[in-house]
Amino acid sequence: MPSIITRGAFSARGFGFGGVRLPPAVGSIGIFALGFVCGVGSSTTRNKYTYASCTSTACGVGAASAASSGGSAAGNSTRGIFALGYTSVGSSTTRNKYTYASCTSTACGVGAASAASSGGSAAGNSTRGIFALGCTSVGSSTTRNKYTYACDTNGSATAASAASANGYAAGNSTRGIFALGFVCCAAFTTTRNKYTYACDTNGSATAASAASANGSAAGNSTRGIFSLGYVSGVGSSTTRNKYTYACDTNGSATAASAASSNGYAAGNSTRGIFALGFVCGVGRSTTRNKYTYACDTNGSATAASAASSGGSAASNGTCGVNV
C-alpha cells in the first residue's frame, strides 16, 4: 500500500474558511447601469442582478462616477468596464471600472476612450473588450477601441466596416458579433461585423433578419441572442435573432415579452437578462426578460429598481455583454 504523502502545512483559509472574502462565483452576477431613468433623467444608479436567486438590488453597488445614458460595457470574470456615454457635459471619454468582488466602481486608473462618444456598443473576452465608439463629435464613427483589462490600457482596434451608432454586440471567447445599428447616410442596417480578437481582424457575419438599431444582446459560448430593438418601417419590435457562432448562421429566437427598444442586456452561460428599455405604448419600463439559451424560452426576471432606457450592462459570467 503506498504511503501517504504530505505537502506542507494545511490552511482552511485556502478553502474559504476563516472569514476570508472569496470572489463571486463566475457567472453569478450582472451589473446594470440604468441609463435614463423616468422622471429623473440620466442616472448614476447601478443594479446588481444575482442570477441564482433571481434578485435585483441597488444597495451596496458602487454608483457610476457621473449620471449618464447611452453607454456601453464589456468585461471579464473580475471586472466590468463601462463607457459612460452621454453625461451632463455631453458625450464623454470616461470609463468606469466596476470590480465585482468588492462591489466598487472607480474612474481612477481606467484608460479613457480615444474620443468622447455615446451610442456605442461593446463585446469582449477574458483579456480585452472591444468598444465601438458610436457617435462622436464628428458624427457616427468607425473607431473601435481595444481595452486590455490586465494592464488597464486602451488602444486602437480594427475599424468597423462602416460609420455607425446605436448598435449592439455579443460574442464568445474568440470573436464578437457587432450589429452596426444606424449607419451614416444609410439609415438602419442589417449589417453585422465579425471581429476576431486574436488577429485583430474584422469581417462580415450573417446579416440580421431586419434593419434595426437601438437593440441589445447577450449570449454564451455558442450563440448570441440579439433583441433587434427599433426595426426600420416597423417601429419597436419583439423580434430576437439567434446567432450561432460556429456555423455563422442567424435564426429566430423566442420573442421578447413586449415590443421595445433602447434596452440593454447581460447574461451568463445559461441565460441572458434583457432590460427592455422603452416599451411601445408604455414608455420607459422596469421589465426584465429572462432568456434561457438551452430551451429557447423567455420568462420574467426580477424588475429593475427604476423605469429606464439607454442603459448598459456587464456580467462576470459571459464574454460579449453590451447595451
Q: Tell me the pLDDT tens digit for each residue of 180-223.
A: 999 987 899 999 999 999 999 999 999 999 999 999 999 999 99
CB 143 within 8 A of CB 137: no
Distance CA 93, CA 273 (A): 27
What pLDDT sits at residue 109? 72
Average pLDDT of span 80-85 = 94
Indicate the pLDDT class of residue 101, thresholds 50, 70 and 90.
Answer: confident
Is the pLDDT assigned to residue 169 strictly greater than 90?
yes
For 65, 130, 216, 300, the CA distances from 29, given in Å and listed in that order, are 21, 21, 18, 17
Sign of CA dihedral 188, 191, 197, 200: negative
List phi, psi (to 5°) of 303.
-65, 155
Is the pLDDT assigned to residue 22 strictly greater than 80?
no
Is the pLDDT assigned to residue 97 strictly greater than 80?
yes
Indicate the pLDDT class of residue 14, thresholds 50, 70 and 90.
Answer: very low
Q: Per-residue DSSP letters for 216-263?
A: EEEE-SSEEEEE--EETTTEEB--EEEEETTTTEEEEEPPPSS-EES-
For 76, 130, 175, 198, 316, the CA distances from 127, given in Å and listed in that order, are 7, 10, 12, 10, 13
Average pLDDT of span 63-85 = 93
Distance CA 248, CA 240 (A): 16
The pTM (predicted TM-score) of the whole model is 0.90
Largest CA distance in the chain: 78
Q: Is 45 exposed, middle or buried (0-12, 13-18, 19+ CB in 10 A)?
A: buried
Question: What dotted CATH number matches 25-315?
Answer: 2.120.10.80
Is the pLDDT assigned to residue 6 strictly greater than 50?
no
Indicate the pLDDT class of residue 278, thresholds 50, 70 and 90.
Answer: very high
Average pLDDT of span 161-186 = 93
Distance CA 308, CA 47 (A): 12
Burial 197-227 (b: 16+ CB within 10 A, else e): beeeebeebbebbebbbbbbbbbbeebbbbb
Per DSSP, what are the bridge partners of residue 134?
none
> 10 Å Cβ neighbour count for 193?
24
| Average model confidence (pLDDT) across the chain | 89
> Among residues of the chain, what percentage have pLDDT more than 70?
91
CA nearest to 321, candidates 211, 168, 188, 213: 168
What pLDDT sits at residue 303? 95
Higher pLDDT, 304 or 184: 304
Is the pLDDT assigned to residue 60 strictly greater than 90?
no
Average pLDDT of span 238-243 = 98
What pLDDT sits at residue 11? 30
Sign of CA dihedral 252, 256, 259, 264: negative
Indicate the pLDDT class of residue 110, thresholds 50, 70 and 90.
Answer: confident
For 17, 169, 200, 214, 225, the CA distances from 72, given in Å and listed in that order, are 37, 10, 20, 12, 17
